Amino acid sequence: MTTPDDTLHPPTAPAPVGWAQTAVGIAVVLVALGMGYGALGISSDAGYGGVGPNFLPWLCAVGLLVSGLMIIQEARSGGFREMDAPPGAPRGYWFGFVWVSAGLLLNASLIEHIGFILSCTLCYVFACQGLRRASGQDAGTPKVLLTDTVTGVIISAPVFWMFTQFLAINLPGLTASGWI
């Protein structure tokens, strides 16, 4: 049924197919194919559990391949229809990116010198500073810095202990005891 408004405002053409969304799907498929190719070089000798060491890479490659194909199908059939509007500022907050990047670089360069726990704590504090500043939160107060530091230690210490004490994987520590 046509109303007078229909003649004044003809229906709009469907939105163009999202090439960026299709490119993401293609990239996921390429990563899956790369993982599958890499899994070909891993021994398939069955171990204790009846599966070989190449089982998990193959499982991930197949999962990524299915996901990538689904992303491509969704993008080519009209795009992602249920996407929320992106939150935040229209452009990236580069100063926050610098904070997070500095934390990662400091972690990589200091882990051998100050140990896993302290370097990961430093990385966590820098990442929190960048993310807090990017979202407009209070970041530089002593209370926030102390909270971030304590939280970083609470996260990194059990990870260090799990790897060194329970899994017997050597990580850089401050002492020879393996607990710090």
Instruction: Write down which residue in 32, 50, 83 finishes a domain.
Output: 83
Instruction: Write down which residue in 83, 109, 128 finishes a domain.
Output: 83
Q: How confident is the model at residue 175 (pLDDT cuts 50, 70, 90)?
A: low
CB 61 within 8 A of CB 36: yes
CB 103 within 8 A of CB 126: yes
Two structure tokens written together for 31:
């990563």
| Residues 86-136: tens digit of each pLDDT | 776 777 788 989 999 999 999 999 988 888 899 999 999 999 999 999 888
What's the total number of domains in the chain? 2
Query: What's the whole-model pTM score?
Result: 0.56
Q: What one-character-per-residue DSSP string does the chain give?
A: ---HHHHHSPPPPPPPP-HHHHHHHHHHHHHHHHHHHHHHTS-----TTS--TTHHHHHHHHHHHHHHHHHHHHHHTT--TTPPPPPS-SS--HHHHHHHHHHHHHHHHHHHHH-HHHHHHHHHHHHHHHHHHHTT---SSHHHHHHHHHHHHHHHHHHHHIIIIIS------SSTTS--
Q: Is the pLDDT reported for residue 7 higher than 70?
A: no
17 and 52 share one domain = yes
Two structure tokens written together for 116:
């896993």
Q: Is the pLDDT reported for residue 51 higher than 90?
A: no
63 and 128 share one domain = no
Given the structure tokens 């229209």, which residue do they identify? 90
63 and 100 share one domain = no
Instruction: Tell whether 72 is covered by a domain.
Output: yes
Two structure tokens written together for 146:
């102390």
111 and 144 share one domain = yes
Q: How confident is the model at residue 179 (pLDDT cuts 50, 70, 90)?
A: low
Instruction: Tell whether 89 is covered by a domain.
Output: no
Q: How many CB atoms lie within 10 A of CB 42?
A: 14
Instruction: Tell whether 174 is covered by a domain.
Output: no
Name the more confident of 103 and 168. 103
Instruction: Tell whether 171 is covered by a domain.
Output: no
Name the more confident of 21 and 80. 21
Average pLDDT of every residue of the chain: 83
Q: How confident is the model at residue 25 (pLDDT cuts 50, 70, 90)?
A: very high
45 and 74 share one domain = yes
99 and 53 share one domain = no
Q: Is the pLDDT reported for residue 11 higher than 90?
A: no
73 and 116 share one domain = no
Instruction: Tell whether 173 is covered by a domain.
Output: no
75 and 98 share one domain = no
* Rounded CA separation 118/19 (Å): 44
Instruction: Write down which residue in 34, 52, 83 finishes a domain.
Output: 83
What is the domain extent for residue 108?
94-166
Instruction: Tell whether 175 is covered by a domain.
Output: no
Q: One-letter amino acid identity for 61?
A: A
Instruction: Tell whether 121 is covered by a domain.
Output: yes
